[in-house]
Amino acid sequence: MKIIYDNHIFNISARKQAEALIERQNRARQAISQCNGILVRSRSEQPLLEENCRIIADICDYPCVWIGMREGGETGTLRPTAWAGDMSDFVANITIDPASEELSHCPTKRSLRTSQPEWQWEIEGDEEFAPRALIKQFKRDGLHAYLALPLKEEDKPPFGIIGIYDYAAGAFTPEEIELLTELANDLAYGIVSIRNRRRRQEAEQAYHRSAKQLEQVLVQTIMAIGHTIEIRDPYTAGHQQRVAELATAIAEEMKLEKDRIEGMRLGAMIHDIGKIYIPAEILNRPGKLTEIEFGLIKSHPDVGYNIVKDVDFPWSVAQMILQHHERLDGSGYPNALKGDEIMLEARILAVADVVEAITSHRPYRPALDQSIALEEIGSGRGISYDAAVVDVCLGLFRKEPAFRFQ
C-alpha cells in the first residue's frame, strides 16, 4: 500500500514489514536474556530444557518449540525431551535416526550432520522433510517454516537440537537465526556445565564409596591384627579393645574432630602390636621379669612403629603406637619425650592404657579396683599424664551413667 503526502510517496507495507522484523529480533533478544537468567540458576538439566522451550515459545510467539537429545552418544537416535506450544502430541512422537536414509532433507538431520543451523522456509508438500501424513497436519495447523539449531560442545558433533516451527512461510531472517543460534550456544554451554558437574559429583561419590570400602577393609585388617596379638597373650585378651573404648570416649568428650576420633580408635586397637615380637613365655610369665626381659617388653612401641610405619594410614597410627608409653615429664619410653613433644592421641592413649591395665587381670597379679587406677592417673595429673586428658577420664567414671568397659 502506497500513500502520497506533500508530494512524497510512502510504502506502508515495507515499513510494516521492517517493523515486524525488528519486533521479531527484539523478541529473540528478550528470549536470550530470560533463558540466560534461567541458565545461571539451573542445577539440573530437564527443568532447564523445559523452561527454555516455554520462554522461546511464549516470548517469540512460535506455535511450537522442542528440544531433542541424542540417545547413546554422538551417533544415537534423537528424541524430544522437552517442548512447549500447541503441538505437544505431535512433538512427543518425533524420532530422528541420523543413520536412516529417510527424510534426508529434514533440517534436523542436516543440522546434526553439518553442526550448523538449518531451516525450511516452506515445508508444505516436501515429503523429504516429513511423511505425507505429517505434511497434511502441518498444513491443517498452518505451519510453514521450520528451524533446527544444533546444541553442541565446541568442535564435537551436536548432542541435541532445538526445533522451532512458525506459521509464516519465509520466516527466520538471517538476523533472527543469528540471535537464536546465540541462544542455542548459551543453552548448550549450560547443558554441558550441568553434565560435567553431575559427572564430577558421581565421580566424587564413587571415590567416597571406594574410600569407605577401603577404610572398612583397613578396620577389619586392624581388628584381625589386634586379635592375632591377643591369641599370643591370652592374659591381656580384650585389652586393646577396651583401651580403644576408653580412649575414644575421652576423645569424644574432648570434642576432637570425627575423623580424628576414628583414627584414635583404630590406633588404640593395635597399640600393642609390637608385642608380637616378644616371646609368649615372657608375656605370660607370672613372676618377676629380669632386666633383659623387661627391656624386651619396653621395645614393643619401637617394634610396633616399625611394623606399621610404611602403611599408608589416613591417621598418625604409627606415632600413636610409638609414643603411647611416653610421659609428660620425660620418664617414659622409648624416646623420653616431654610435654607437647607427645602427640595428643598418644597422651589420651597413655591414660586409657594405664586405667585398663590396672583394672584387668595380669599374669603377675589379679585385677585391682577401679579406684586405684583413678588414683594413679590423678596423682600423675600434669606430671606424667596430660592434665586435661586426666580430668576428662575422671569425669567419665564419676558422671552418671559412669563409663564401663564392655
Quote the pLDDT of residue 246.
96
Its pTM surpasses 0.95: no
Nearest-5° Cα angle at 391, 385 to 393 = 85
Three-state SS annotation for 23-69: HHHHHHHHHHHHHHHHHHHCCCHHHHHHHHHHHHHHHHCCCEEEEEE
**Closest CA relative to residue 184, chosen from 88, 67, 270:** 67
| Alpha-carbon 100 to chain mean position | 40
Quote the pLDDT of residue 318.
93
The answer for residues whose C-beta is within 8 angstroms of residue 262's C-beta and 6 or more apart is: 315
Whats the size of the chain, residue-wise? 406
Nearest-5° Cα angle at 259, 237 to 218 = 50
Q: What is the DSSP letter of 381?
A: B
Quote the pLDDT of residue 56.
94
Question: Do residues 386 and 343 make contact, with C-beta atoms less than 8 angstroms apart?
Answer: no
Mean pLDDT of the chain: 86
Q: Residue 142, by phi and psi: left (phi above 0), alpha (psi -120 to 50) or beta?
A: left
**Closest CA relative to residue 119, chosen from 108, 130, 133:** 108
CA distances (Å), 117 to each of 185, 258, 292, 365, in order? 11, 55, 89, 90
Amino acid identity, position 130: A
Torsion angle of C-alpha atoms 141, 142, 144, 145, degrees rounded to 10: -70
Question: Do residues 49 and 38 make contact, with C-beta atoms less than 8 angstroms apart?
Answer: no
The answer for residues whose C-beta is within 8 angstroms of residue 94's C-beta and 6 or more apart is: 66, 68, 79, 80, 163
Backbone angles phi, psi at 369, to 5 degrees: -65, 150
- Residue ranges in the chain modelled with pLDDT below 50: 1-10
Q: Which cell numbers hold the place of 39?
A: 541458565
Q: How far apart are CA 327 and CA 387, in angstroms?
A: 12
**Closest CA relative to residue 73, chosen from 98, 44, 48:** 98
Q: What is the DSSP letter of 96?
A: B
Question: Do residues 272 and 240 make contact, with C-beta atoms less than 8 angstroms apart?
Answer: yes
